[in-house]
Amino acid sequence: MSTELCNLWRELAHGATPSVIRRAQALLGQLVEHVEDCASCDAAVASLSEDGLAAVYELLAGDSGAPTDENPYQLHADVDAHVVYAVNELLLPQLTPQLNRTLAWQPLDLYRGIDALAMLIERESRDGAALVRLSPQALHAGVEELPRTTIVKEIQFVTSLDESSSSRLFDWLFAALRDFPKLLPGMIATGRGASVSVRVLPPGEPIDLSLAWAPDVVSVSVRGRAAALADPVSRQLADRD
């Protein structure tokens, strides 16, 4: 059996006949476990490029009926309400009036754009850089550089906005990062000249937007105090004391 599984992996990695694919699909569980136990198959699978790995998955998927008429990479309904709440109640109130004035996207599209940029940075960070530098022209991670067009395409892909709107959204996100360092959940941004450095924080609990975008305690208390002082009733009460 082991030899057959080795042969199946070899065939799958180099394009397979329909009968090999059917056999692989039938033995899928054993086939996958075999990779963990067989050093040569493990090495063969590990050496596959991203496209090569994708091709293996496609072979194993067969005619899966993957949806083509809608963007399947978008969020699904159960998290929508939470995202809208987090954007409207937590994120936007902490941004400058200028950023709020230039905001031209619905909360879900805005979040999808944030998500697209964050995942792109996380991915590039994984590939070689702890500190990623972002400019309106490119994303620099170690020796790698992603041009603006790639970033915009990723935003376009995740949001389904058109290219022009995705491009403007990227510019808006870049401006917002300079103003609100916690914009990308799980990361901290620091403005440096004409660019922004983004550090991916060490992994922890799953990221919850209501925590990621929670106002700093200090700024809340200062803002709360300022509001109280501005309120005439509070002033009168303060005077009486």
Partner 1 sequence: MSHAGSERAPAISDADYQKFRALFFSALAGLARRGYPVPPDDGLDLVHDFFVEAWPSLVERHDPAKSRLSTYAFSAFVQFARPRIVKLHRWRRQLDEEAVEEAGDDGSGVELKIDGARLERARQALSFEDREPLEARFVKGQSERDLAKALGITRYRARERLAQSLTRLVSGLQDRALSNSTDWQIALAIWRDGRPLAAIAAELGLTEDQVRARKRKIIAALTRATPLLTAAPRGNHVDRTL
Residues in contact with partner 1 by CB under 8 A are 28-33, 35-37, 42, 45-46, 50-51, 53-58, 60-67, 69-79, 119, 122-123, 125-131, 142, 157, 200, 202-203, 206
CB of 173 to partner 1, least distance (A): 19
CB of 29 to partner 1, least distance (A): 4
Choose between 11 and 122: whose C-beta lies nearer to partner 1: 122
CB of 3 to partner 1, least distance (A): 19
Choose between 127 and 163: whose C-beta lies nearer to partner 1: 127
Length of the chain: 241
DSSP 63: S
Q: Is the dihedral of CA 188, 205, 96, 219 positive or negative?
A: negative
Question: 79 has which bridge partners?
Answer: none
- For residues 150-187, one letter each, b for 16 or more C-beta atoms within 10 angstroms of the residue's C-beta and e for the rest, the string is ebbbbbbebbebeeebbbebbebbbbbbbebbbbbbbb
CB of 154 to partner 1, least distance (A): 8
Choose between 54 and 228: whose C-beta lies nearer to partner 1: 54
Q: How far apart are CA 39 and CA 41, in angstroms?
A: 6
Put residue 15 in one of left, alpha, beta given phi > 0 → left and psi -120 to 50 → alpha. Answer: left
CB of 73 to partner 1, least distance (A): 5
Choose between 65 and 97: whose C-beta lies nearer to partner 1: 65
Choose between 35 and 86: whose C-beta lies nearer to partner 1: 35
